Structure 1
Protein backbone atom coordinates (compact mmCIF):
# COMPACT_ATOMS: atom_id res chain seq x y z
CA UNK A 1 0.00 0.00 0.00
CA UNK A 2 1.29 3.46 -0.84
CA UNK A 3 2.13 6.00 1.79
CA UNK A 4 0.03 9.13 1.76
CA UNK A 5 2.94 11.52 1.51
CA UNK A 6 6.16 11.53 -0.47
CA UNK A 7 9.45 12.10 1.33
CA UNK A 8 11.11 15.43 0.94
CA UNK A 9 14.33 15.96 -1.00
CA UNK A 10 17.51 17.23 0.58
CA UNK A 11 16.89 18.51 4.11
CA UNK A 12 17.11 22.27 4.78
CA UNK A 13 20.51 23.68 5.59
CA UNK A 14 22.42 21.63 3.04
CA UNK A 15 24.75 23.47 0.62
CA UNK A 16 23.06 25.07 -2.37
CA UNK A 17 23.45 22.79 -5.42
CA UNK A 18 25.56 23.96 -8.31
CA UNK A 19 26.15 22.61 -11.80
CA UNK A 20 29.60 24.17 -12.01
CA UNK A 21 32.71 22.07 -11.60
CA UNK A 22 36.05 22.65 -13.37
CA UNK A 23 36.89 19.86 -15.79
CA UNK A 24 40.08 19.08 -13.89
CA UNK A 25 38.06 18.48 -10.68
CA UNK A 26 35.22 16.42 -12.18
CA UNK A 27 36.97 13.01 -12.21
CA UNK A 28 37.87 13.51 -8.54
CA UNK A 29 34.28 14.45 -7.67
CA UNK A 30 32.91 11.46 -9.57
CA UNK A 31 35.36 9.28 -7.68
CA UNK A 32 33.89 10.53 -4.41
CA UNK A 33 30.40 9.81 -5.76
CA UNK A 34 31.58 6.27 -6.52
CA UNK A 35 32.85 5.85 -2.95
CA UNK A 36 29.59 7.15 -1.50
CA UNK A 37 27.54 4.84 -3.70
CA UNK A 38 29.70 1.86 -2.70
CA UNK A 39 29.12 2.75 0.94
CA UNK A 40 25.36 2.55 0.35
CA UNK A 41 25.57 -0.72 -1.56
CA UNK A 42 27.80 -2.31 1.09
CA UNK A 43 25.46 -1.32 3.92
CA UNK A 44 23.61 -4.25 5.48
CA UNK A 45 20.38 -2.95 3.90
CA UNK A 46 21.97 -1.98 0.60
CA UNK A 47 21.01 -5.21 -1.16
CA UNK A 48 17.34 -4.14 -1.04
CA UNK A 49 18.08 -1.30 -3.48
CA UNK A 50 20.89 -2.90 -5.53
CA UNK A 51 18.67 -3.91 -8.46
CA UNK A 52 15.30 -2.99 -10.00
CA UNK A 53 12.22 -3.97 -8.03
CA UNK A 54 11.05 -7.39 -9.22
CA UNK A 55 7.34 -6.61 -9.31
CA UNK A 56 6.44 -10.07 -10.68
CA UNK A 57 8.35 -12.03 -8.04
CA UNK A 58 7.04 -9.82 -5.23
CA UNK A 59 3.49 -9.69 -6.59
CA UNK A 60 3.41 -5.88 -6.67
CA UNK A 61 0.73 -5.47 -9.32
CA UNK A 62 0.13 -1.79 -8.57
CA UNK A 63 3.79 -0.75 -8.43
CA UNK A 64 4.01 0.99 -11.81
CA UNK A 65 0.71 2.77 -11.27
CA UNK A 66 2.20 4.38 -8.14
CA UNK A 67 5.88 4.71 -9.12
CA UNK A 68 6.25 6.59 -12.40
CA UNK A 69 10.08 6.57 -12.53
CA UNK A 70 11.63 3.41 -11.08
CA UNK A 71 15.28 3.62 -10.06
CA UNK A 72 17.80 1.51 -8.15
CA UNK A 73 21.40 1.83 -6.98
CA UNK A 74 22.64 -0.79 -9.45
CA UNK A 75 21.41 1.36 -12.32
CA UNK A 76 23.06 4.41 -10.74
CA UNK A 77 26.32 2.45 -10.50
CA UNK A 78 26.23 1.50 -14.19
CA UNK A 79 25.46 5.08 -15.21
CA UNK A 80 28.45 6.29 -13.23
CA UNK A 81 30.72 3.73 -14.84
CA UNK A 82 29.51 4.59 -18.34
CA UNK A 83 29.72 8.37 -17.77
CA UNK A 84 26.00 8.73 -18.47
CA UNK A 85 25.46 11.70 -16.16
CA UNK A 86 25.56 15.00 -18.11
CA UNK A 87 26.44 16.90 -14.93
CA UNK A 88 27.21 16.12 -11.32
CA UNK A 89 23.70 16.88 -10.05
CA UNK A 90 22.12 14.05 -12.05
CA UNK A 91 23.80 11.56 -9.72
CA UNK A 92 22.02 12.63 -6.49
CA UNK A 93 18.69 12.91 -8.35
CA UNK A 94 18.81 9.21 -9.20
CA UNK A 95 19.94 8.15 -5.72
CA UNK A 96 17.19 10.22 -4.12
CA UNK A 97 14.62 8.79 -6.53
CA UNK A 98 15.61 5.28 -5.44
CA UNK A 99 14.84 6.01 -1.81
CA UNK A 100 11.89 8.29 -2.53
CA UNK A 101 10.21 5.54 -4.53
CA UNK A 102 10.66 3.05 -1.69
CA UNK A 103 9.27 5.51 0.85
CA UNK A 104 6.36 6.41 -1.42
CA UNK A 105 5.28 2.84 -2.17
CA UNK A 106 5.76 1.49 1.36
CA UNK A 107 4.22 2.74 4.59
CA UNK A 108 6.22 4.34 7.36
CA UNK A 109 7.25 1.61 9.77
CA UNK A 110 7.63 -1.03 7.05
CA UNK A 111 11.09 -2.59 6.80
CA UNK A 112 11.74 -1.27 3.27
CA UNK A 113 10.57 2.23 4.19
CA UNK A 114 12.81 2.36 7.26
CA UNK A 115 15.81 0.99 5.32
CA UNK A 116 15.30 3.64 2.64
CA UNK A 117 15.06 6.38 5.26
CA UNK A 118 18.25 5.16 6.95
CA UNK A 119 20.26 4.99 3.74
CA UNK A 120 18.84 8.31 2.58
CA UNK A 121 20.26 9.99 5.69
CA UNK A 122 23.66 8.40 5.06
CA UNK A 123 23.56 9.58 1.46
CA UNK A 124 22.57 13.18 2.26
CA UNK A 125 25.37 13.49 4.79
CA UNK A 126 27.92 12.17 2.30
CA UNK A 127 26.57 14.25 -0.58
CA UNK A 128 26.69 17.41 1.54
CA UNK A 129 30.37 16.73 2.12
CA UNK A 130 30.97 16.38 -1.63
CA UNK A 131 29.10 19.61 -2.37
CA UNK A 132 30.94 21.51 0.33
CA UNK A 133 34.24 20.61 -1.32
CA UNK A 134 33.23 21.99 -4.72
CA UNK A 135 34.85 25.29 -5.73
CA UNK A 136 32.78 28.41 -6.31
CA UNK A 137 32.31 29.22 -9.99
CA UNK A 138 34.57 31.94 -11.40
CA UNK A 139 33.05 34.84 -13.37
CA UNK A 140 31.36 33.91 -16.63
CA UNK A 141 33.97 35.88 -18.58
CA UNK A 142 36.75 33.74 -17.07
CA UNK A 143 34.91 30.53 -17.94
CA UNK A 144 34.37 31.69 -21.52
CA UNK A 145 38.03 32.63 -21.88
CA UNK A 146 39.14 29.23 -20.65
CA UNK A 147 36.80 27.44 -23.03
CA UNK A 148 38.07 29.54 -25.96
CA UNK A 149 41.59 28.41 -25.07
CA UNK A 150 40.71 24.73 -24.58
CA UNK A 151 38.13 24.30 -27.34
CA UNK A 152 40.57 23.91 -30.28
CA UNK A 153 42.26 21.02 -28.43
CA UNK A 154 39.05 19.02 -28.02
CA UNK A 155 38.76 15.81 -30.07
CA UNK A 156 36.73 16.33 -33.24
CA UNK A 157 33.76 14.29 -31.99
CA UNK A 158 33.48 16.46 -28.87
CA UNK A 159 33.79 19.62 -30.97
CA UNK A 160 30.83 18.35 -32.97
CA UNK A 161 28.85 17.88 -29.75
CA UNK A 162 29.78 21.43 -28.73
CA UNK A 163 28.52 22.70 -32.09
CA UNK A 164 25.16 21.03 -31.44
CA UNK A 165 24.98 22.64 -28.00
CA UNK A 166 25.72 26.07 -29.49
CA UNK A 167 23.16 25.60 -32.26
CA UNK A 168 20.50 25.09 -29.59
CA UNK A 169 21.13 28.62 -28.30
CA UNK A 170 21.61 30.21 -31.71
CA UNK A 171 25.36 30.51 -31.31
CA UNK A 172 27.32 31.52 -34.41
CA UNK A 173 29.05 28.51 -35.90
CA UNK A 174 31.32 27.90 -38.88
CA UNK A 175 33.81 25.27 -39.97
CA UNK A 176 37.34 26.29 -40.88
CA UNK A 177 39.74 23.72 -42.34
CA UNK A 178 37.66 20.91 -40.92
CA UNK A 179 37.59 22.44 -37.41
CA UNK A 180 34.43 23.77 -35.80
CA UNK A 181 34.44 27.35 -34.50
CA UNK A 182 31.78 28.72 -32.17
CA UNK A 183 30.92 32.09 -30.70
CA UNK A 184 31.38 31.37 -27.01
CA UNK A 185 30.44 34.94 -26.08
CA UNK A 186 26.82 33.87 -26.62
CA UNK A 187 27.07 31.00 -24.14
CA UNK A 188 25.10 31.52 -20.92
CA UNK A 189 25.93 29.76 -17.65
CA UNK A 190 23.80 26.70 -18.43
CA UNK A 191 25.53 26.33 -21.79
CA UNK A 192 28.94 26.79 -20.18
CA UNK A 193 28.08 23.93 -17.81
CA UNK A 194 27.44 21.65 -20.80
CA UNK A 195 30.59 22.72 -22.63
CA UNK A 196 32.74 22.27 -19.54
CA UNK A 197 31.37 18.75 -19.22
CA UNK A 198 32.87 18.05 -22.66
CA UNK A 199 36.25 19.29 -21.40
CA UNK A 200 35.91 16.98 -18.43
CA UNK A 201 35.06 14.07 -20.72
CA UNK A 202 38.19 14.77 -22.77
CA UNK A 203 40.24 14.79 -19.55
CA UNK A 204 38.77 11.47 -18.42
CA UNK A 205 39.54 9.94 -21.81
CA UNK A 206 43.18 10.99 -21.52
CA UNK A 207 43.44 9.57 -18.01
CA UNK A 208 41.85 6.28 -19.11
CA UNK A 209 44.28 6.09 -22.05
CA UNK A 210 47.25 6.73 -19.78
CA UNK A 211 46.06 4.00 -17.41
CA UNK A 212 45.68 1.53 -20.30
CA UNK A 213 49.26 2.22 -21.38
CA UNK A 214 50.52 1.38 -17.90
CA UNK A 215 48.79 -2.00 -17.82
Structure 2
Protein backbone atom coordinates (compact mmCIF):
# COMPACT_ATOMS: atom_id res chain seq x y z
CA UNK A 1 0.00 0.00 0.00
CA UNK A 2 1.33 3.49 -0.81
CA UNK A 3 2.93 5.36 2.06
CA UNK A 4 1.46 8.86 2.41
CA UNK A 5 4.94 10.15 3.31
CA UNK A 6 6.36 9.04 -0.05
CA UNK A 7 5.95 10.85 -3.35
CA UNK A 8 2.93 9.31 -5.03
CA UNK A 9 3.08 7.80 -8.50
CA UNK A 10 1.30 9.98 -11.03
CA UNK A 11 -2.17 9.08 -12.23
CA UNK A 12 -1.64 9.63 -15.94
CA UNK A 13 -4.58 10.49 -18.23
CA UNK A 14 -3.89 7.48 -20.44
CA UNK A 15 -4.53 5.19 -17.46
CA UNK A 16 -8.18 6.15 -17.67
CA UNK A 17 -8.79 5.60 -21.36
CA UNK A 18 -11.63 3.23 -22.17
CA UNK A 19 -12.51 1.13 -25.19
CA UNK A 20 -15.93 2.77 -25.25
CA UNK A 21 -15.64 6.53 -24.75
CA UNK A 22 -19.27 7.23 -25.66
CA UNK A 23 -21.52 9.03 -23.17
CA UNK A 24 -21.94 6.83 -20.09
CA UNK A 25 -25.55 7.96 -19.81
CA UNK A 26 -26.28 6.02 -23.01
CA UNK A 27 -24.58 2.87 -21.73
CA UNK A 28 -26.48 2.94 -18.43
CA UNK A 29 -29.77 4.13 -19.89
CA UNK A 30 -31.39 0.67 -19.74
CA UNK A 31 -31.73 -0.82 -16.23
CA UNK A 32 -29.73 -3.97 -15.52
CA UNK A 33 -31.51 -5.75 -12.68
CA UNK A 34 -28.89 -8.48 -12.50
CA UNK A 35 -26.38 -9.54 -9.87
CA UNK A 36 -22.64 -9.15 -10.44
CA UNK A 37 -21.55 -11.79 -7.93
CA UNK A 38 -22.60 -15.38 -7.29
CA UNK A 39 -24.58 -16.20 -4.16
CA UNK A 40 -21.56 -17.16 -2.04
CA UNK A 41 -19.62 -13.98 -2.82
CA UNK A 42 -22.74 -11.86 -2.36
CA UNK A 43 -23.25 -13.38 1.09
CA UNK A 44 -19.58 -12.77 1.94
CA UNK A 45 -19.80 -9.11 1.00
CA UNK A 46 -23.03 -8.64 2.94
CA UNK A 47 -21.47 -10.28 6.00
CA UNK A 48 -18.38 -8.07 5.73
CA UNK A 49 -20.41 -4.87 5.53
CA UNK A 50 -22.35 -6.03 8.57
CA UNK A 51 -19.11 -6.37 10.51
CA UNK A 52 -17.50 -3.05 9.57
CA UNK A 53 -20.53 -0.69 9.55
CA UNK A 54 -21.85 0.12 13.04
CA UNK A 55 -25.61 0.05 13.66
CA UNK A 56 -27.25 3.43 13.29
CA UNK A 57 -24.71 4.67 10.74
CA UNK A 58 -25.69 7.06 8.00
CA UNK A 59 -24.44 5.40 4.81
CA UNK A 60 -23.70 6.46 1.22
CA UNK A 61 -23.87 3.70 -1.38
CA UNK A 62 -21.69 5.16 -4.13
CA UNK A 63 -22.23 3.99 -7.72
CA UNK A 64 -25.29 2.22 -6.41
CA UNK A 65 -27.68 -0.10 -8.16
CA UNK A 66 -30.75 -2.13 -7.17
CA UNK A 67 -28.78 -4.04 -4.49
CA UNK A 68 -26.68 -2.42 -1.74
CA UNK A 69 -25.31 -5.63 -0.18
CA UNK A 70 -26.20 -4.33 3.29
CA UNK A 71 -27.54 -6.90 5.78
CA UNK A 72 -31.30 -6.74 6.22
CA UNK A 73 -30.93 -7.08 9.97
CA UNK A 74 -28.47 -4.18 10.26
CA UNK A 75 -30.39 -1.19 11.56
CA UNK A 76 -29.06 1.93 9.90
CA UNK A 77 -29.83 5.61 9.70
CA UNK A 78 -30.56 7.14 6.29
CA UNK A 79 -28.98 5.31 3.35
CA UNK A 80 -28.32 7.46 0.28
CA UNK A 81 -27.65 5.90 -3.09
CA UNK A 82 -25.91 7.60 -6.02
CA UNK A 83 -26.00 5.78 -9.34
CA UNK A 84 -26.52 6.06 -13.06
CA UNK A 85 -29.97 4.56 -13.53
CA UNK A 86 -33.13 5.82 -11.84
CA UNK A 87 -35.03 2.53 -12.23
CA UNK A 88 -32.25 0.55 -10.55
CA UNK A 89 -32.13 2.98 -7.64
CA UNK A 90 -35.92 2.90 -7.23
CA UNK A 91 -35.78 -0.90 -7.02
CA UNK A 92 -33.30 -0.75 -4.11
CA UNK A 93 -35.28 -1.12 -0.87
CA UNK A 94 -32.42 -0.04 1.41
CA UNK A 95 -32.18 3.46 -0.02
CA UNK A 96 -33.91 6.39 1.65
CA UNK A 97 -32.46 8.91 -0.83
CA UNK A 98 -31.68 8.44 -4.51
CA UNK A 99 -29.44 10.59 -6.71
CA UNK A 100 -28.77 10.00 -10.40
CA UNK A 101 -25.33 11.37 -11.25
CA UNK A 102 -22.43 10.54 -13.56
CA UNK A 103 -19.31 10.85 -11.41
CA UNK A 104 -17.09 10.86 -14.50
CA UNK A 105 -18.74 14.09 -15.56
CA UNK A 106 -19.38 15.61 -12.14
CA UNK A 107 -17.35 14.15 -9.25
CA UNK A 108 -18.66 16.63 -6.64
CA UNK A 109 -21.08 14.94 -4.24
CA UNK A 110 -24.33 16.75 -3.36
CA UNK A 111 -24.06 16.43 0.43
CA UNK A 112 -22.58 18.67 3.12
CA UNK A 113 -19.28 17.98 4.86
CA UNK A 114 -19.26 15.17 7.42
CA UNK A 115 -22.66 13.72 6.49
CA UNK A 116 -21.91 9.98 6.46
CA UNK A 117 -20.40 7.45 8.85
CA UNK A 118 -19.65 5.00 6.03
CA UNK A 119 -19.33 5.14 2.25
CA UNK A 120 -19.45 1.89 0.29
CA UNK A 121 -18.55 1.41 -3.37
CA UNK A 122 -19.42 -2.10 -4.51
CA UNK A 123 -18.07 -3.63 -7.73
CA UNK A 124 -17.90 -0.36 -9.67
CA UNK A 125 -14.61 1.41 -8.90
CA UNK A 126 -13.15 0.14 -12.20
CA UNK A 127 -15.34 2.58 -14.13
CA UNK A 128 -14.11 5.80 -12.51
CA UNK A 129 -12.12 8.07 -14.81
CA UNK A 130 -11.56 10.74 -12.12
CA UNK A 131 -11.06 8.58 -9.02
CA UNK A 132 -8.87 10.98 -7.01
CA UNK A 133 -11.50 13.70 -7.32
CA UNK A 134 -14.31 11.34 -6.39
CA UNK A 135 -12.51 9.97 -3.33
CA UNK A 136 -11.54 13.48 -2.24
CA UNK A 137 -15.28 14.15 -2.17
CA UNK A 138 -15.82 10.91 -0.25
CA UNK A 139 -13.34 12.14 2.37
CA UNK A 140 -15.21 15.44 2.57
CA UNK A 141 -18.64 13.88 3.20
CA UNK A 142 -17.34 11.36 5.76
CA UNK A 143 -17.27 12.19 9.44
CA UNK A 144 -13.80 11.98 11.04
CA UNK A 145 -13.27 8.32 11.84
CA UNK A 146 -15.80 7.25 9.21
CA UNK A 147 -14.87 4.50 6.76
CA UNK A 148 -14.83 4.01 3.03
CA UNK A 149 -15.09 0.44 1.74
CA UNK A 150 -14.34 -0.35 -1.92
CA UNK A 151 -15.25 -3.90 -2.92
CA UNK A 152 -14.30 -5.52 -6.21
CA UNK A 153 -14.25 -8.84 -8.03
CA UNK A 154 -13.01 -9.97 -11.43
CA UNK A 155 -16.19 -9.07 -13.28
CA UNK A 156 -16.79 -5.86 -15.20
CA UNK A 157 -18.14 -4.34 -18.37
CA UNK A 158 -14.73 -4.38 -20.11
CA UNK A 159 -15.46 -1.65 -22.65
CA UNK A 160 -16.22 0.80 -19.82
CA UNK A 161 -13.44 -0.25 -17.41
CA UNK A 162 -10.42 2.06 -17.45
CA UNK A 163 -7.18 0.91 -19.05
CA UNK A 164 -5.16 0.72 -15.83
CA UNK A 165 -7.76 -1.56 -14.23
CA UNK A 166 -7.78 -3.90 -17.22
CA UNK A 167 -3.98 -4.11 -17.15
CA UNK A 168 -3.71 -5.21 -13.49
CA UNK A 169 -4.48 -8.36 -11.53
CA UNK A 170 -6.56 -8.68 -8.36
CA UNK A 171 -3.67 -7.99 -5.98
CA UNK A 172 -2.58 -4.93 -7.94
CA UNK A 173 -6.17 -3.68 -7.98
CA UNK A 174 -5.93 -3.29 -4.20
CA UNK A 175 -2.74 -1.25 -4.62
CA UNK A 176 -4.45 0.89 -7.26
CA UNK A 177 -7.42 1.66 -5.00
CA UNK A 178 -5.00 2.54 -2.20
CA UNK A 179 -3.22 4.89 -4.62
CA UNK A 180 -6.54 6.56 -5.47
CA UNK A 181 -7.18 7.13 -1.77
CA UNK A 182 -3.68 8.47 -1.21
CA UNK A 183 -4.11 10.98 -4.04
CA UNK A 184 -7.49 12.00 -2.59
CA UNK A 185 -5.91 12.83 0.80
CA UNK A 186 -7.64 12.66 4.13
CA UNK A 187 -7.55 8.90 4.68
CA UNK A 188 -5.47 6.75 6.97
CA UNK A 189 -3.51 3.73 5.77
CA UNK A 190 -5.81 1.49 3.69
CA UNK A 191 -6.26 -2.19 4.49
CA UNK A 192 -7.03 -4.88 1.92
CA UNK A 193 -9.14 -7.95 2.65
CA UNK A 194 -9.54 -11.15 0.64
CA UNK A 195 -13.20 -12.10 1.12
CA UNK A 196 -13.28 -14.81 -1.54
CA UNK A 197 -15.58 -17.63 -0.35
CA UNK A 198 -13.44 -20.42 -1.79
CA UNK A 199 -13.05 -22.74 -4.78
CA UNK A 200 -15.76 -22.42 -7.38
CA UNK A 201 -17.06 -19.08 -6.08
CA UNK A 202 -16.40 -15.62 -7.43
CA UNK A 203 -13.28 -13.92 -6.05
CA UNK A 204 -14.01 -10.97 -3.79
CA UNK A 205 -11.80 -8.31 -2.24
CA UNK A 206 -12.33 -5.09 -0.33
CA UNK A 207 -10.10 -2.12 0.48
CA UNK A 208 -11.12 -0.01 3.46
CA UNK A 209 -9.72 3.19 4.93
CA UNK A 210 -10.70 5.51 7.76
CA UNK A 211 -11.28 9.24 7.42
CA UNK A 212 -8.61 11.06 9.35
CA UNK A 213 -9.46 13.98 11.66
CA UNK A 214 -9.88 17.28 9.86
CA UNK A 215 -7.00 19.65 10.75
CA UNK A 216 -8.07 22.52 12.99
The interval holding the TM-score normalised by the smaller chain is under 0.3
The structure in which a higher percent of residues are helix is 1
TM-score, normalised to structure 2's length? 0.23
Q: Report the structure, 1 or 2, having the larger strand content.
A: 2
Greater C-alpha Rg: 1
So what's the TM-score if we normalise by structure 1?
0.23
